[in-house]
Amino acid sequence: MLKRWKRYLSGLLVLIIFAGFFPGQDDLYFQISKNIDLFGRVYKEISFSYVDEVDPEQFMRAGIEGMLSSLDPYTVFIDENKQNEIDLITNGKYGGVGISIGVRGDDVTIIEILDGYSAQKQGLHVGDVLIEASGKKVTAKNVDVISTLVRGEPGTTVEVKITRNEGIDTLSFNLIREEVIIKNITYAGFYPEVGNNIYIKLSNFSRTAADELKNDLKKLKSQKEIKSIVLDLRGNPGGLLDIAVDICDKFLPKDQLIVTTKGRDAASIKSYFAQQEPMVGDAKLVVLVNEGSASASEIVAGALQDHDRGIILGSKTFGKGLVQTISPLTYNTSLKITTAKYYTPSGRCIQKIDYSHDNNVIVHSDSLSTARFFTDHKRNVYGSGGITPDTIVNFKIEGNVTKAILAKGLVFQFADNYFTSNQNKKFNALLNEELFSDFTVFLKEKKFEFKSEAEIEIDKLIKQAAENKLEKTIQESLLKINAEFKKIEDSGLKIYHKEILREIRTELASRYIGSKGKIEEFLKFDPQFQTALTLIKEEAVYNKILHNN
pLDDT tens-digit readout, 76-97 = 998 877 766 676 666 677 788 8
pTM higher than the cut 0.85: no
324 and 457 inside one domain: no
Rounded mean pLDDT of the chain? 86
Shared domain check, 350 and 280: yes
Residue 110: which region, alpha, beta or left (left: phi > 0; alpha: psi -120 to 50)?
beta
The CATH number linked to 166 is 2.30.42.10
In this prediction, residues 304-326 reach a mean pLDDT of: 95
Report the percentage of the chain scoring pLDDT > 90. Answer: 50
- E-strand ranges in 122-255 read 129-133, 136-137, 157-164, 169-176, 178-181, 185-190, 197-202, 228-232
Please give the backbone phi and psi of residue 262, each rounded to the nearest 5 degrees, phi first: -135, 125
Same domain, 259 and 174: no
Q: Which amino acid is at 369?
A: S
- Statement to judge: residues 99 and 124 lie in one domain: yes
Dihedral, CA of residue 47, residue 51, residue 55 and residue 59, to nearest 10:
-60
Q: Tell me, what CATH number does 289's domain have?
A: 3.90.226.10
**Residue 273 forms beta bridges with which residues?**
257
Q: Which of 55, 70, 85 is the last residue of a domain?
A: 70
What percent of the chain shows pLDDT beyond 70?
Answer: 87
What stretch of H or E contains 501? helix 497-524
Answer with the one of 181, 206, 240 that is the final residue of a domain. 181
Q: DSSP states of 290-354 as a string?
A: -TT--THHHHHHHHHHHTT-SEEEES------EEEEEEE-STT-EEEEEEEEEE-TTS-------
Mean pLDDT is lowest, of 195-204, 417-426, 470-479, 487-496, for: 487-496
> Where a domain ends, among 146, 181, 216?
181
**Residues 378, 476 within the same domain:** no
37 occurs within a structural domain = yes
Q: Is residue 342 scored above 80 in pLDDT?
A: yes
Predicted local confidence at residue 84, as pLDDT: 66
Q: Based on the domain organization, do 216 and 326 belong to the same domain? A: yes
Q: Which of 301, 389, 385, 384 is nearest to 345 (CA)?
A: 301
Has residue 247 been placed in a domain? yes
In a domain, 144, yes or no: yes
**CA 329 from centroid of its chain's CA atoms:** 28
CA distance 233 to 391: 15
- Are residues 270 and 205 part of one domain? yes
pLDDT at res. 468: 73
pLDDT of residue 368: 63
- Strand-pair partners of 380: 374
Q: Is residue 481 included in any domain, yes or no?
A: yes
Judgement on whether residues 146 and 207 belong to the same structural domain of the protein: no
Query: Is 359 a residue whose pLDDT tops 80?
Result: no
- Whether 256 and 273 share a structural domain: yes
In a 3-state reduction of DSSP, which class is residue 264?
coil
Residues 54 and 150 both lie in one domain:
no
pLDDT for 365 beyond 70: no
Total number of domains in the chain: 4
Whether residue 415 is predicted with pLDDT greater than 90 in this model: the reply is yes
Residues 36 and 125 in one domain: no
Tell me whether residue 544 is in a domain: no
The reply to whether 82 falls in a domain is no
In a domain, 85, yes or no: no
CA 357 to chain centre: 26
pLDDT at 7 over 80: no
Q: Is the pLDDT of residue 420 over 70?
A: yes
Confidence of residue 4 (pLDDT cuts 50, 70, 90): very low
Is 537 inside a domain boundary?
A: no
pLDDT for residue 492? 67
Same domain? For 196 and 283 the reply is yes
The residue segments making up the domain with residue 158 are 93-181
Q: Say if CB 172 and CB 144 are below 8 A apart.
A: no
Q: Is it the case that residue 11 has pLDDT exceeding 70?
A: no
Which pLDDT band holds residue 22 (cuts at 50, 70, 90)? very low
d(CA 477, CA 499): 34
Q: Is the per-residue pLDDT at 314 higher than 90?
A: yes
Q: Please, which pLDDT band fits residue 480 given cuts at 50, 70 and 90?
A: confident
* pLDDT given for residue 451 in this prediction: 67
